[in-house]
Amino acid sequence: MEKIIEESKQGESLVLENKPENTKKLFIESYGCAMNFSDSEVVASILSNGGYNTTSVLEEADLVLVNTCSIRDKAEQTIRKRLEKYNAVKRTNPKMKVGVLGCMAERLKSQFLEEEKIVDLVVGPDAYKDLPNLLAEVEEGRDAINVILSKEETYGDISPVRLMSNGITALVSITRGCDNMCTFCVVPFTRGRERSREPQSIMAEIQDLWNKGFKEITLLGQNVDSYLWYGGGLKKDFVNASEMQKATAVDFDQLLEMVAVGFPKMRIRFSTSNPQDMHESILHVIAKYPNICKHIHLPVQSGSNRILKEMNRLHTREEYMALIDKIRAIVPDASISQDMIAGFPTETEQDHEDTMSLMEYVKYNFGYMYSYSERPGTLAGRKMKDDVEEETKARRLQEIVDLQQKHAWFRSEEFVGKTVEVLVEKVSKKSTEEFSGRNSQSITVVFPKENYKIGDFVNVKITSCTSGTLKGEAVGLSEMN
């Protein structure tokens, strides 16, 4: 499961610099994972060249697009409410067109267009370049749909506009799709099979960001560690590649090193990792380069071997724990975060206790925790009965959350008295006299502004903490500036 963008950003309307020659207005909202937000930047770039400027005022839009998520039922319910709102506005502005992008588009195409008639166009994650043609269809009074999944599309030739940008941090997509058929996840069906983006296009995008003053990038993929470029095509077809293609292939540890060496004054993060693809070679690259952040998001989903098998996860509890040991040995200062699902079908109290004991073993810095909700189209949705009572799910989830909170306190307190490097990202929400940023371990750090500015790398001595935030005093600029 992809890391969800923080709640406060969900549904934010995205605005970029206007082009004076553009005459139409686009209102675009994103929900769900980082990949969706990254995709919205690609869409805005395509439409900016097609005559659209963005607006944050729904009522004045000619085109309204919502980039959707199918991972959780809550996300789908939220998007349905937004579609109701769009259509209420559309009744007073009949020229407005409404479109659904992303994962829900693929899954609910006929429902949205034919049965409920609540949208004008439906565009899947691999069809964004077709938007100008689809909009022409809509202008002529026809519904438009393209949800065809591609074996090749990576949008490597599109320079994304930075919609939500603070000018400091940016997302750089390096893979699309996923080959892991986890039974709870709809991604392989909505985003297709896994393929990687050409390395030079990734380097060119990062160079452009560096030229514009960005200080940190996150290499992004549904399963980022399994990146493999061998000239194009699906990862699963690599077995049929020529000897030359195999000899010149670039995998994730090579790409990571290429970026770290190419941009030594830029911080590098990556998300999301899958345990079976987190090879030791990647850990050695993380340890070797100070500009690669020491944070690994390593979803586990459950601590029970029986449930992991039911989920079709390709790791056991023991293999996961051995990987944690390896991370601690090679990158001792790394923070580790998790995804966890409570109440998966057939989960017993013993399975739940196995999850709790795994959490005790790892003591994660932070995590993303959910109770299971059946997703139509997934293998679990088709073949497994959602048989854990909602009350039991809620209790188990709360126990997981409470334990994570305890561990987050423990991990935060480890930083007190230490000096950490912080990239200043913004003014603190709680005080205009303080800056907020993250350290290498992706923990939020707050400190008095003094004479520093947004975009500076500042060494901060930590004096106190909460479970999720470190507080301290600046002691000077770091060598990364």
Binding site members for [4Fe-4S] cluster: 33, 69, 103, 178, 182, 185
Q: Which residues are annotated as a binding site?
A: 33, 69, 103, 178, 182, 185
Hey, how many other C-beta atoms are within 10 angstroms of the C-beta on 469? 15
SS3 255: helix
Give 423's contacts (C-beta < 8 A, 6+ positions apart): 168, 169, 215, 216, 267, 437, 438, 455, 456, 457
| Residue 321 contacts residue 361 (beta carbons within 8 Å) | yes
CA distances from residue 85 to 80, 121, 138, 197, 247 in whole angstroms, order as listed: 9, 17, 20, 37, 54
DSSP state of 215: -
SS3 127: coil
DSSP state of 369: E
How far is Cα 260 from Cα 262, in angstroms, rounded to an integer? Answer: 6
Half-sphere exposure of 151 (CA within 13 A, CB side): 8
CA distances from residue 173 to 6, 47, 324, 403 in whole angstroms, order as listed: 18, 19, 26, 33
| Residue 240 contacts residue 269 (beta carbons within 8 Å) | no
Helix (H) / strand (E) containing 360:
helix 349-362
How far is Cα 229 from Cα 460, in angstroms, rounded to an integer? Answer: 39
Give 390's contacts (C-beta < 8 A, 6+ positions apart): 371
Q: Which residues pair with 481 in a beta bridge?
A: none
How far is Cα 436 from Cα 442, in angstroms, rounded to an integer? Answer: 12
CA distances from residue 477 to 188, 412, 429 in whole angstroms, order as listed: 44, 23, 23
| Residue 330 contacts residue 432 (beta carbons within 8 Å) | no
| Residue 459 contacts residue 478 (beta carbons within 8 Å) | yes
